[in-house]
Amino acid sequence: QFRKKFNITFIVATHSLQIIENSDANDIYYFENNDGHITISNPIYPAYVTKNLYKHSYYDKVLLVEDELAEKFLKNTIDKIDKNFKYRLYFTIIPIGGWRKLLEVSLLKNTYYVNAKVVTVFDKDIEEDLNKELQKQAIEELKKEFTFIPVEDNIEKFTLKNLFKNPKFHRYIESECLKDEFKFTNLSIKEFKETDNSKTIKSKFNNNEKSLVRQIGDYSEDKFKENYSLIEDKIVDFIFEELSDSPEYLAFEKRLKEFFEVKND
């Protein structure tokens, strides 16, 4: 709000874990110097930025994902498998960032996560690129250690491409989020239908003021105002319920049961 009102941006350069871990991924810019070649990554999650500052060495299980939407989907899956996991073992779900960063961290999991058993969960839309990269590095055998969110492409694209055609989703958003006087048709959604590029889709999902999530917030009950994460929770909950009986989801759940060492029915 301060930045918008006064058109001022503050840049803080820090190694403080407390500052980094309490920052939003969209507000973090990570500078890397690789033999004089400077790269800047944004958005990027605190877990990636802090990976060299300390080790997550006390977990039993670690699940690595690309972003917070994938994290939300995994939480739903784990709750469906067993809501009492948190009382029996110490596990965490860690969003890393783009798939290349996720692969990088995954390949060094024994360095960063030491004693923990680790599974890496990618978005489905990068499977072809991932296969090419594994072939390039001659490490195709590692693919068996990876799995994919059982959602067509990714959660953002699935929402913008599929759910806009689904009247059930419209009614769900109206009943769960929007004020009584508003309908789903109040949202400016025409431009979303022409979306295809993955980066554009992520932007139109929740990275600008006219994005889907922020528009829902504009027309929503007070508890959703500026609470975009809560709106994302609702969207992921709907997707989870829609897909939780699909063969792809059931195979994914089976994979996680194996990871958590839960007997399949």
Is 65 found in the same domain as 145?
yes
Question: Which uninterrupted H or E stretch holds 116?
Answer: none
| pLDDT given for residue 172 in this prediction | 93
Is 252 found in the same domain as 223?
no
Is 255 found in the same domain as 135?
yes
Is 138 found in the same domain as 126?
yes
Question: What does the pLDDT look like over 38-82, one tens digit per residue?
Answer: 888 887 777 677 765 555 667 888 999 999 999 999 999 999 998
Domain count along the chain = 3
Q: Which of 100, 158, 106 is nearest to 129 (CA)?
A: 100
Q: Is 202 left (phi over 0), alpha (psi -120 to 50) or beta?
A: alpha
Is 14 found in the same domain as 35?
yes
| Count of CB atoms situated within 10 Å of the CB of 49 | 23
Is 218 found in the same domain as 142?
no
Is 136 found in the same domain as 66?
yes
- Mind listing the pLDDT tens digit of every residue in the chain (265 residues)? 566 677 877 777 776 656 777 788 778 888 887 777 888 888 777 767 776 555 566 788 899 999 999 999 999 999 999 877 766 788 889 999 889 999 999 998 888 887 788 999 999 999 999 999 999 999 888 888 899 999 988 899 888 877 778 899 999 999 999 998 999 888 887 666 665 666 677 778 887 778 888 889 888 878 887 788 999 999 999 999 999 999 999 999 999 999 988 765 5
Range 140-170 burial, b when 16+ CB lie within 10 A, else e? eeeeeebbbbbbebbbbbbbbbebbeeeebb
Residue with tokens 């798939």: 99
Structural domain boundaries, residue 109: 55-150+246-265
| pLDDT given for residue 147 in this prediction | 95
Cβ–Cβ under 8 Å, residues 245 and 80? no
Who contacts 57 (Cβ-Cβ below 8 Å, separation ≥6)? Answer: 113, 114, 115, 116
Model's pTM, two decimal places? 0.80
| pLDDT given for residue 199 in this prediction | 66
Which of 24, 51, 78 is a domain's end point?
A: 51
Q: Which long-range contacts (CB under 8 A, 24 or more apart) does 21-27 make?
A: 21/46, 21/50, 25/67, 25/68, 25/95, 25/97, 26/207
| Count of CB atoms situated within 10 Å of the CB of 64 | 27
Q: Which of 36, 30, 69, 86 is nearest to 53 (CA)?
A: 30
CATH number at 90 reads 3.40.50
Is 24 found in the same domain as 74?
no
Angle (nearest 5°) at CA 124 between 84 and 195? 120
Question: What does the pLDDT look like over 172-189, one tens digit per residue?
Answer: 999 999 998 999 888 887
What separation, in Å, do the N-terminal and C-terminal C-alpha atoms of the chain show?
51
